[in-house]
Amino acid sequence: MALTPGVTAGKAVPQAAGITKEERKVIFGSSLGTVFEWYDFYLYGSLAAVIGKQFFLGDATTSFIFALLAFAAGFIVRPFGALVFGRLGDIVGRKYTFLVTIMIMGGSTFIVGLLPSYATIGIAAPILLVTLRILQGLALGGEYGGAATYVAEHAPDGKRGFFTSWIQTTATLGLFLSLLVILGTRMSMEPKAFDEWGWRIPFLLSVVLLGISVWIRLSMNESPAFAKMKADGKVSKAPLKESFMKWKNAKIVILALVGLTMGQAVVWYTGQFYALFFLTQTLKIEPASAQIMIAIALALATPFFIFFGSLSDKIGRKWIILGGCLIAALTYFPIFKAITHYGNPALEAALTKSPVVVVADPEKCHFQFNPTSTKKFPSSCDIATGMLTNASVNYTIQEAPAGTLASIHVGDKVYQSFNATMTPDGLNFDSASKDKVTAFTTEVGASLKEAGYPAKADPEQINKPMVVLLLFVLVLYVTMVYGPIAAMLVEMFPTRIRYSSMSLPYHIGNGWFGGLLPTTAFALVALKGDIYYGLWYPIIAAMITFVIGALFVRETRNNNIYAED
């Protein structure tokens, strides 16, 4: 019994051995347009720390987590974009859907570059920013499924993995392009100027890419498979109902999500975005240096998308993807600890030689996730642990009797915390408490510095070749899970509902499980006081995908994607 409804295993419908010059041009245009769309989407992620200061109130940790939440908003709505534009693509066609998605994405990105900050228009600033991120997410939700389907339906037999792997490079190339533009902008001005207004330049430049992308999309032809199906009068009138309301196809959607894209997504975002956040926020490496190292790793690893996509045409797609999930899950802890060793050896030494203990009543220690940036955590434990989290200091909590004021132990030195008093509106500390927090933070900070905890990574101590090598390994895992995924998803569903069916599990996996990874991981670190604790999120998700995929997902390499229901 075949796994995929409407797609039979065995020899595919015969096609020409190669692909025409015009089709190559169209596929290139599709890929290039998608690169620009990813560039637009990832500018925000690369500049999350800077944007957080411009649009959100609160301390460094709160504003950064809220900035990441706004970043994640674009991912959260991607499945809804997949539903809207997937239906449009299955009914109207791939070409016109491409035009709509690129215009929404490019326009939203350009407007972010013009958006006034919180200091100028107040609460309207973050509301407008999140709205634009939502529009970007909806557009991207409609982009990927169409691009992958479009290219796969042009590919000759036995080369779907190879041809769709070019689409798989677009996300990394878009990130790479965004990093290059950001770096070029940073290096052309003073750091203060970049933080104040220079960060807008990469967003404003997107209008040029929008113009190029629209021109490319207008020159594209419709997918031959869809055009033939439309000419034959076989286009689905209700693709969403056929995709998700009929168990025969819905069960494949579920397996595609849990047994493939969930694990692929967390490996993807750990290897690129979480790695960048870890370098800048946890290891305190200067952003430009971190971005350069990530960019080099991306450049070195990008050809492996093509390698693994092509390899999947020869040996199958399933075990390459699942193998990447398994290897990543087994090696994340040693790799990230090695990144700390080579990226900030002073921090590593301090974590080993000068352990920090918070002695507190555990009932007074709370999960300090504050997405609205309006709530303060006044207990003595929260003040102590919040200060340590901001300083990237590992700590353990030692249980004390109920009612005990928390204290921080740095070596043989003890610093007593306190319970802060709130203002009448309950949203902030009163002036006396603010002064105490400042004094407490200064005193503990001086002790941490004396114990060897660095405020920033020393550029002279960073072993950049080794950090780049480790980042390359992380991105290599990304190429394993991501290179073959488009071809496999295309092969799991019939032409008439392919756009809708493959888009939803892909964007739930990447939009929710992947997009929420940085926010969730950093919140877990703040909860447990361990800079590596956030890695449990991608490890568990990747292992679930490995087990489910190994047991229930079948190989699709030889499926006939042109078979009819």
The DSSP string of 4-42 is: STT-EESSPPP--SS--HHHHHHHHHHHHHHHHHHHHHH
Radius of gyration of the chain (CA): 25
Among residues 213, 204, 533, which one has the least CA distance to residue 397? 533
CA dist., res. 448 & res. 455, Å (int): 9
pLDDT band of residue 474 (cuts 50, 70, 90) is: very high
C-beta neighbour count of 234 within 10 angstroms: 12
**pLDDT tens-digit profile of 86-124?**
777 777 766 678 778 888 888 888 998 999 988 888 878
Is residue 520 predicted with pLDDT exceeding 90? no
Prediction pTM value: 0.81
Residue 359: the pLDDT is 94
Residue 427's identity, in one-letter code, is L
- Structure token pair of residue 184: 């070029």
- CA-based end-to-end distance of the chain: 14
pLDDT band of residue 277 (cuts 50, 70, 90) is: confident
Is residue 6 predicted with pLDDT exceeding 90? no
DSSP-derived pairing of the beta strands 356-360 and 395-399: parallel
Q: In the chain, where are the structural domains located?
A: 8-344+459-560, 349-450
CATH superfamily of 8-344+459-560: MFS general substrate transporter like domains (1.20.1250.20)
Residue 14: the pLDDT is 39
C-beta neighbour count of 288 within 10 angstroms: 16
Residue 273: the pLDDT is 82
Q: Cβ contacts of residue 154 below 8 Å, gap of 6+? A: 19, 23, 26, 27, 163, 223, 224
Report the chain's mean pLDDT, rounded to a whole number.
83
Residue 352: the pLDDT is 85
pLDDT band of residue 15 (cuts 50, 70, 90) is: very low
Helices (H), 188-261: 191-193, 200-218, 224-231, 239-244, 247-256
Q: What is the average pLDDT across 366-373? A: 56
Half-sphere exposure in the Cβ direction for 141 (13 Å, CA): 32
Q: CB–CB of 336/272 below 8 Å? A: no
Residue 28: the pLDDT is 75
Q: What is the average pLDDT across 209-225? A: 75
What percentage of the chain reaches a pLDDT higher than 90? 33
Among residues 91, 199, 48, which one has the least CA distance to residue 518? 48
Is residue 60 predicted with pLDDT exceeding 70? no
SS3 assignment, position 555: coil
C-beta neighbour count of 524 within 10 angstroms: 18
Residue 167: the pLDDT is 84
- Structure token pair of residue 304: 């492996």
- Is the sign of the CA dihedral 6, 10, 12, 18 positive or negative? positive
Residue 227: the pLDDT is 64
Bridge partners (DSSP) of residue 559 are: 9
Give the DSSP letter string of 138-157. HHHHHHHHHHHHHHHTTSPT
CA dist., res. 481 & res. 328, Å (int): 10
- CATH top-level class for 349-450? alpha beta
Pairwise pLDDT comparison (365 vs 414), residue with the higher score? 414
Residue 473: the pLDDT is 98
CA dist., res. 393 & res. 331, Å (int): 23
Give the DSSP letter string of 384-445. HHHHHHHTT--EEEEE--TTPPPEEEETTEEEE-----B-TTSSSB-HHHHHHHHHHHHHHH
